[in-house]
Chains A and B, each alone.
Chain A
């Protein structure tokens, strides 16, 4: 195809704001952070170039343990979210009558009309020792003294799953919509059980939706700060909190920048491994 001069100019015209956006708000700050991550101070307080910030991550057990913990919990959260999102998406796409579909998606969206902070405080009001749930448990005699349900890992994962449900359900819905019902019916007629239908037909068809949903959820959870901090309580050092601490509490911007880059690299690595394991390509998932 031959592109005329004027349409080429138009292309540049429309592309410029996007490129400016990328350059000014994403590329430039990252270059500055990258530069900062290689900076440090020698014993006399002078500025020097060093790899020490990156070395600290690998030599200091607290740092990589925190990262490992964050990554593992993010993967667990992603898996749980997926397990919950599949039936929800199936119900919305295939079971419910078409005119209610919009309403169902809207109900999923509804919690996102308030900010994450408000949602987390909502959970805290429900779950705390003097909270709503404990009040009813005590009233109906299920327990004889209030139980502390906040400040542990299970609650934190629940909060994270709740926050990321939508981002898993929506891509799966859009992938599932193109699934022809007759394939499922045919499988039924030929005598396959429900599990086999899920495993052989529905899952493979939804694969791109699942993968893109998983990537989004994984990245969101890994980069979350609020939920682990407020609901996780005393053992829940999240890697983002460590970056915050380096920048804010220790005034060590160099170390914080290095952690930021390590987070970027390591999370990309995990996603790459995930794609390899499920034999997918990023291009297919994005399309």
Chain B
């Protein structure tokens, strides 16, 4: 998984402040600051994009377009939302664009799971489970997949998700409810 999102409130606030400072420096023309932002978010955005588009090549394109878009919009970014929300918002749009232009690819290759194989205690059953979960996630509509990934993988609050997806909070709740219903139904064999 890409760089994990800090869960504690203080950790997140501190990162948020650091992000704002980095963006401010980048806006003032500090070239290194934008690279720092790339270092900080590239892995997380890759994991997020992979979950949305389903393959590494398209995920890389999405990440690249996200940062290019962020750089282009840097001057007009007024920091009303967090830097994280801003980047994920761009990534969601780029992923949607990627899906539209290339069509949905739902294949999940074992070659994309080196981490799983190398891990101690690796077993075919565990890999099967992971592949099943990934495959089932791929069967959800893009709207449902987005909310599941933002909530379950990125740990975002409903308010943050609403901001990233540019929809009301109620829409986030109803999409998440329906997405979970589908996942529970399709993964019932793995659930209590």
Tell me if chain B binds chain A: no
Residues of B within 8 A of A (CB): none
Residues of A within 8 A of B (CB): none
